[in-house]
Amino acid sequence: MISKPCEITIRIEKLQALDRRLAPYHQVHPEVTTELSNRMAGYRGEKSLDFHLSMLPDKKYYIFHGLRLLYRNYFFQLDNFLLCSAFGLNLEVKNMGGELHFEKKFNQMVQTKKDSSARKTNPVLQARLQAIKLKKWLKEHNCLDIPIYYLFVNSNSKTLIISEPGNEHITQHICNSEFLIEKIAQIETNNKTDLLDPKELRKIKRLLLNNHTPENPDILQHFNLTPKDIPTGVHCPGCSFLPMKYFRGSWNCPNCKLKSKTAHYQAVHDYFLLIKPSITNAEFRHFLHIDSIHIAQKLLFSMNLPYTGKFKDRVYHSPALWKE
Ligand SMILES: [Zn+2]
């Protein structure tokens, strides 16, 4: 069963907001677009794995996507982790095209595309490192010792994976998505003894979910930007024009003449992601270009956001980023 589904991360949401807000000619815009498209490719790769994982017997496995855990002051992330009563399995998923050469010497991986070659981080070693960290993490949390296996899964079906002879210690940990279920069956055959009873399994599941800490980066700082670099206003949901004007109970687009009652939702969402996870009436008026306190209050209220404080000191919080 899926215990933690594959979701768009906060980092991707922040990149999307920045991509939407920054002027196309802004100097960091190309960097933002590149990072966003790389991360979306990674997300789609993981999502595509869901189809293959859905073939697994539902009751046997707990499946966790994107777990991020703290171990000795540093976070480590597991793209996909499978847990059953006999073993754990860490899947490092990539969507890499071209040819992947696994060289025996120095444990290197070289990716070749058309005429260019580049050395890339060896995903098998990455998968192994995460598995080792998880094993230590489980030990520190007083869990029973189970074998943790690891695989690098490439989700691009056109990719050619090449390895030198004598490199089996690496290649046994590589597979394409299509072969994944068979690979898991092989691991099952070699690990038939139940090491964890249902109670212990549930305990580990709870521990993993309770200790998961989503990454919440300061995206402006990451690109050396300040709130002043972010254009204010409400985007038109039809043609993306900025800013719409609020008039007679709806948002009006001067460009395509579209009217909307809810266009402010996206602007407030962008504010939470890029500026800060809370907003006051005054900040709302400034960011959304509204003059009236009462209209601002009405619009904020329509969003059903969690809030603290009374009357004019009221602060509205992002439902996703706010913890009581
Ligand atoms: Zn428009």
Distance 166 CA to ligand 1 centre (A): 61
Span 276-304, average pLDDT: 95
Distance 28 CA to ligand 1 centre (A): 25
Span 131-138, average pLDDT: 96
The pLDDT value given to residue 324: 47
Question: What would the pLDDT profile of 310-319 be if each residue is shown by its tens digit?
Answer: 877 899 999 8
Distance 217 CA to ligand 1 centre (A): 31
The pLDDT value given to residue 311: 76
With beta carbons less than 8 A apart as the criterion, state whether 102 and 127 touch: no
User: Does residue 243 have a cis peptide bond before it, meaning omega lies within 30 degrees of 0?
Assistant: yes
Length of the chain, in residues: 324
Span 3-8, average pLDDT: 84
The pLDDT value given to residue 322: 61
The pLDDT value given to residue 317: 95
Task: Tell me the pTM.
Answer: 0.83
The pLDDT value given to residue 247: 93
Asked if residue 290 has pLDDT above 70, the reply is yes
Span 271-293, average pLDDT: 96
The number of beta carbons lying within 10 Å of the beta carbon of residue 237 is 16
Span 157-182, average pLDDT: 87
Distance 254 CA to ligand 1 centre (A): 7
Question: What would the pLDDT profile of 35-44 be if each residue is shown by its tens digit?
Answer: 999 899 888 8
Span 236-248, average pLDDT: 95
Residue 165 pLDDT level (bands cut at 50, 70, 90):
confident
Distance 249 CA to ligand 1 centre (A): 17
Span 63-74, average pLDDT: 94
For residues 75 and 116, give the distance between their C-alpha atoms in angstroms, rounded to a whole number. Answer: 33
Percent residues over pLDDT 70 in the chain: 99
Asked if residue 67 has pLDDT above 50, the reply is yes
Distance 245 CA to ligand 1 centre (A): 11
With beta carbons less than 8 A apart as the criterion, state whether 147 and 132 touch: no
Asked if residue 323 has pLDDT above 60, the reply is no
Distance 239 CA to ligand 1 centre (A): 4
Span 52-64, average pLDDT: 89
Distance 93 CA to ligand 1 centre (A): 39
Distance 63 CA to ligand 1 centre (A): 42
Span 68-91, average pLDDT: 95
The pLDDT value given to residue 249: 94
Exposure letters 251-269 (e unless 16+ CB within 10 A, then b): bebeeeebebeebbebbbb
Asked if residue 321 has pLDDT above 80, the reply is no
